Structure 1
Amino acid sequence: MYWTVHLEGGPRRVNHAAVAVGDKIYSFGGYCTGENYRNRRPMDIHVLNTVSLRWKALPLPRKGDKQYDIAPYQRYGHTAVVYKDKIYIWGGRNDGAADNILYCFDPETNLWSCPKTTGIIPGARDGHSACVVHTNNADVMYIFGGFEEGIDRFSQEVYSLDFNTMRWTYLITKSEPPSYRDFHSATAIGTRMYIFGGRGDHHGPHHSQMEFYCRDIMYLDTITLQWHRPSTTGEIPIGRRSHSAFYHGGYLYIFGGYNSLRDEHFNDLHRFDPIRNVWEAVKTHGQIPNKRRRQSCIVLGDRMYLFGGSSPAPDGGQPCIDDDLDPHDVKLLDHDDLHVLEFNPSLKRLCLMTVVMHYVHYNLLKENFLPEDIKWEIRAMSFKNNLSPSEQFRLTG
């Protein structure tokens, strides 16, 4: 596996939510340290064209437009899932309040709607997880955990939303569920939902500053509603939160994250085999991303696209607005970069990567012996994005 692309100049976002539709990746909301997240304004949307590797910001609705009142407010700690090429946003918060309204974004029209739902709606929260499980009878989004703002506690509950009926259900599961936690990950593999990591507390649902980080992996069988804690072997990752999880080629991958007890950020990559229940540390080639947390990792085909997140600032930086529960006044650097990890890079891709690493600064693109399509790919892999500061301010100020 090779890290083949590293580009700066994209949206500077942390704790955002992202999904892929077609050959585009849509990133919703998040924060950038130093900005105002108490005032309500429409959530920003950034779109990555995975062919050209260019970002663009979608226009925001203005006051007086119908979309201004429908669109979700700018937030962080929310989730995004895809169902039938539409994107569903749930939960999250700004500095004033958390939310529990379901929003739907249509990438064809770039319009928001608020689907009508019934049933037992989960309480407002952030730091939860969401994934979609497809079966013969239903297509269901499962919500697990998070921090419930209204009652000031961690959660270990599971809610489901059946997309066919748009009905919420509070699920009574069997056996002991994962401990109360937030900022974990949930990954759908077949009819199972795998939970890894997150921040918990020795006092259960209540935050007492006695944090702990579980390194066990668990899964919910969504058919039987039974929780399982498989016995695992191998190189088990250190417990962490605010990491990324993604599925490819039969493996569940974990990248990055943070452990406050060790005051350590990570940029390691581990993979879990759900058949053999074995963990393995993965060695990659190329320029590995900085140690970071709260980034997004999205898989399309044989590539994974990583962007955003925050890292310890080597030369100062802004105080962390991690959330009001974090006891550490950490100085963090928010990222605007994009990294691409190739699971099975072609020989052509490896050659292009070598050109970008060693020759692009010597005006190789001016040479006539290179075909135009090769020049285009080199430009896409090496020229930074130009989402300008003025545009960032227009979007978030």
Structure 2
Amino acid sequence: MYRWMLHMSGGPQICDCTAAVFGDEVYTFSWSSYMIYVNIFNTVSLRWRMMTPGSGECQLEVPSHRIGHSIALVDYIIYLWGGRQSGTSGCNVLYAFDVDTHRWFTPMVRGNVPQARCFHSAVVLGKVMYIHGGAYIRGFGETWTNEIIKLGTATMVWSLINPRGSPSHAQRYHSATNIGTEMFVFGRYRDKNEACNNISVFDTETNSWMNTPSAQIIPGYWLHSAFAYNGELYIFGNHKLDKICDLWKLNGETFSWKKVETKGESLSKEEWECCCNVRDRIILLKGLSGENDLSILDLNPSLKTLCKLAVIQYGLKQAGLTHDVSTPFADFAQGERGPFVNSGAAGALRSLRSLRLGRIASGRVDYMLLRDID
């Protein structure tokens, strides 16, 4: 049973967001008027933290405003690369964010440094970051590509891969997801606002595109989200431009698709989603509307979780509940922009009794997850 557990609004603005998970925290990287902003969501305390460049940090080492960039986590370093900057310029400088010190730096790189591009994909296998597809920036225009480049983070050397086999189509607005040593590439934008449902698989051990059986036809997607769970590929998001949000999964062995039904209050329609795996839960960050900035889909809810949601949903009496079931659902300050740690607003401890049909009195958080719920 897959169940939506939380829809939360009032967080930081996360337009055209990319994200990476380190421990229990989700690091988000989104554009502002001048530079990339880093916000951190703690999946245990359900608190946001906004990071700002340190006073001694070189401004040249903080990425400037951009869209269509990618990020990848290797050990404790998050690498940010590419994107379209203001106007007609692109960027091929590699930036790095240290999750221990919360500081940016620009590592020295060697080799065949790739051209600037945007709306590409990035995956990590071991200590190697793979960049696939995207659009070269040509003034106000763009030229799509299907090339694969890699960065060995141990040596910081860029290299172009000349893959064997039938290459994928030129890609942008697609997704790339690693399952084992293979990279699954799905969807893309096509002319005339059309989306594709093509899927290609690249084997990083043999540097070749694999011959895969024809999968059953599902809707085409672009501006969607993708993640891997238990060896299967999941696609969530928009069907073409009608903003239909649904969830599909692909079995990598049989190459068959299955539409996944979810329980709970469904997610409102949006584009530019970004999602991350945190154990058995998917953190979905929304892009443009700002109505619900964050949602959590539990792929394996425990019996305790389901019982608590039932108590809330049906307004059951709680007098006879044990202490661990009736403990508070949330403990954070509600500031002007939502649940920030550094908010000056006085936060009230919300108990189970204060919830009505899964909603906190402020209406800003739905189906709150209990801290340490399992």
TM-score, with normalisation over the residues of structure 1?
A: 0.78
Q: Which runs of 4+ in 1 moved over 4 A?
A: 367-370
- Please give the secondary structure, in 2, of the residue aligned with 1:264: coil
CA distance in 2, matches of 1:22, 1:197: 29
The counterpart of 1:267, out of the listed 245, 260, 267, is 245
Gaps of 5+ in 1: 32-36, 202-209, 311-332, 392-397
CA RMSD of aligned residues (A): 2.5
Q: Which shows bigger deviation, 220-229 or 164-173?
A: 220-229
CA distance in 2, matches of 1:289, 1:337: 11
Inter-CA distance 71–348: structure 2 relative to 1 (3 Å threshold): same
The counterpart of 1:74, out of the listed 65, 68, 71, is 65
Specify the alignment match of 1:156 in structure 2: 146
**What amino acid maps onto 1:66 in structure 2?**
E
The answer as to 2:205 corresponding to 1:223 is yes
CA distance in 2, matches of 1:78, 1:374: 43
The counterpart of 2:95, out of the listed 81, 98, 103, is 103
- Please give the secondary structure, in 2, of the residue aligned with 1:93: coil
- Contact persistence 2:57–2:103 (CA under 8 A): no
Specify the alignment match of 2:179 in structure 1: 189
Alpha-carbon deviations, 1:221-250, whole Å to 9, x = none?
A: 11222112522444x431111100001111
Alpha-carbon deviations, 1:280-305, whole Å to 9, x = none?
A: 10011011111222111111111111
What is the aligned residue count?
Answer: 335
- Contact persistence 2:65–2:86 (CA under 8 A): no
- Contact persistence 1:11–1:308 (CA under 8 A): no
- Contact persistence 2:165–2:209 (CA under 8 A): yes
- Contact persistence 1:266–1:293 (CA under 8 A): no
Q: Which shows bigger deviation, 239-248 or 219-228?
A: 219-228
- Please give the secondary structure, in 1, of the residue aligned with 2:243: strand
Specify the alignment match of 2:104 in structure 1: 112
- Please give the secondary structure, in 2, of the residue aligned with 1:149: strand
Q: CA deviation at 1:49?
A: 0.5
Specify the alignment match of 1:379 in structure 2: 330
- Contact persistence 1:8–1:385 (CA under 8 A): no
Specify the alignment match of 1:241 in structure 2: 222
CA distance in 1, matches of 2:236, 2:263: 15
TM-score, with normalisation over the residues of structure 2?
A: 0.82
The counterpart of 1:253, out of the listed 234, 249, 255, is 234
Specify the alignment match of 2:161 in structure 1: 171
**What amino acid maps onto 2:307 in structure 1?**
C
- Contact persistence 1:123–1:150 (CA under 8 A): no
**What amino acid maps onto 2:337 in structure 1?**
S
- Please give the secondary structure, in 2, of the residue aligned with 1:379: coil
| Structure number with higher helix proportion | 1
The counterpart of 1:343, out of the listed 299, 319, 329, is 299
CA distance in 2, matches of 1:357, 1:298: 27
The counterpart of 2:35, out of the listed 29, 33, 42, is 42
Inter-CA distance 117–346: structure 2 relative to 1 (3 Å threshold): same
Inter-CA distance 356–297: structure 2 relative to 1 (3 Å threshold): farther
Specify the alignment match of 1:15 in structure 2: 16
Inter-CA distance 126–252: structure 2 relative to 1 (3 Å threshold): same
- Contact persistence 1:5–1:353 (CA under 8 A): no
- Please give the secondary structure, in 1, of the residue aligned with 2:277: strand
Q: CA deviation at 1:337?
A: 2.3
**What amino acid maps onto 1:24 in structure 2?**
E
**What amino acid maps onto 2:24 in structure 1?**
D
- Contact persistence 1:297–1:304 (CA under 8 A): yes
- Contact persistence 1:18–1:28 (CA under 8 A): yes
Gaps of 5+ in 2: 341-374
- Contact persistence 2:174–2:187 (CA under 8 A): yes
- Contact persistence 1:175–1:226 (CA under 8 A): yes
- Contact persistence 1:77–1:128 (CA under 8 A): yes
**What amino acid maps onto 2:206 in structure 1?**
T
The counterpart of 1:58, out of the listed 51, 73, 76, is 51
Inter-CA distance 371–123: structure 2 relative to 1 (3 Å threshold): same
- Contact persistence 1:244–1:254 (CA under 8 A): yes
- Please give the secondary structure, in 2, of the residue aligned with 1:216: strand
The answer as to 2:343 corresponding to 1:388 is no
CA distance in 2, matches of 1:123, 1:150: 11
Specify the alignment match of 1:293 in structure 2: 271
CA distance in 2, matches of 1:142, 1:95: 25
- Please give the secondary structure, in 2, of the residue aligned with 1:255: strand
Inter-CA distance 246–269: structure 2 relative to 1 (3 Å threshold): same
Q: CA deviation at 1:384?
A: 9.0
Specify the alignment match of 2:83 in structure 1: 92
Q: CA deviation at 1:61?
A: 4.2
Q: CA deviation at 1:112?
A: 0.7
Alpha-carbon deviations, 1:243-283, whole Å to 9, x = none?
A: 00001111110000352xxx311210000111111111001
Inter-CA distance 368–105: structure 2 relative to 1 (3 Å threshold): farther
- Contact persistence 2:7–2:292 (CA under 8 A): no
**What amino acid maps onto 1:351 in structure 2?**
C
